[in-house]
Amino acid sequence: MTQPHVITPQNLTGKSALVFGGSRGIGAAIAKRLAEDGADVAITYVSAPDHATSTVEQIKTQARLGLAIQADSANHADLSRAVARAVEEFGKLDIVVVNAGILRLGPVDTFSVTDLDLMLAVNVRGVFLAIQAAIAHMTFGGRIVTIGSNTAAGNRYAGSTVYAMTKAAVATMVKGLALERAERVVTINNVKPGPTLTAWKRRRVDPH
């Protein structure tokens, strides 16, 4: 029988992190794990202040600093402001996780331009701009992780073409950015999880 993979604790004492889209679901789990491992953590959220507050309170139970910042990942100014606020609070950024994303489903013949533009704005443009805003403040040897999807390697079900397209774009983007930042030893990776049971998965609402 295959043994479950065990993630060993990391010593992140003295490190600071910013998780875009960290109020619930995968993002909240990441934020809490970073705090458990010793990091101070800021998170962004759009429309779930109660979830954001709850996540920050759980971060603080680890005797770490926690901060919730309202920021729309489709808005360039919001992304820049979130980075500036995290740097103001922590003095630096060692770890950035770009988790914010949205899902709209539908066949090509009925998929609206509004939904197409929104998904590109958050899932692709927002990821690039979040990294762009953060990179200037990253410490030597910093870590950037984007949360993608296994759909980047191939569309898994009808109606998810646009979603898969955005995740494939990010996977390609990260490969290029990783080469660009290698000289500063800033590691950039794209993680591609499969279906994950979260409140968002149950309700089909925006996860950020």
Q: What digits encode the pLDDT tens for the residues 117-127?
A: 999 999 999 99
Residue 1 pLDDT greater than 80, yes or no: no
Q: What digits encode the pLDDT tens for the residues 74-91?
A: 999 999 999 999 999 999
Position 77 in a domain: yes
Residue 198 pLDDT greater than 70, yes or no: no
Instruction: Give just the sign of the alpha carbon dihedral 205, 47, 59, 19.
Output: positive
Contact 47, 73 (CB under 8 A): no
Q: What is the pLDDT of residue 2?
A: 53
Contact 65, 38 (CB under 8 A): no
Q: What is the pLDDT of residue 152?
A: 64
| Residue 69: CATH number of its domain | 3.40.50.720
The residues that are catalytic are 149, 163, 167
Position 157 in a domain: yes
Q: What digits encode the pLDDT tens for the residues 20-68?
A: 999 999 999 999 999 999 999 999 999 889 999 999 999 999 999 999 9
Beta bridge partners of 149: none
Position 23 in a domain: yes
Q: What is the pLDDT of residue 182?
A: 73
Position 8 in a domain: no
Of the two residues 185 and 1, the one the predictor is more confident about is 185
In terms of residue numbers, what domain contains 114?
16-194
- Tell me phi and psi for residue 173, to 5 degrees: -55, -45
Q: What is the pLDDT of residue 199?
A: 56
Position 138 in a domain: yes
Q: What is the pLDDT of residue 205?
A: 43
Q: Count of domains in the chain?
A: 1
Position 205 in a domain: no
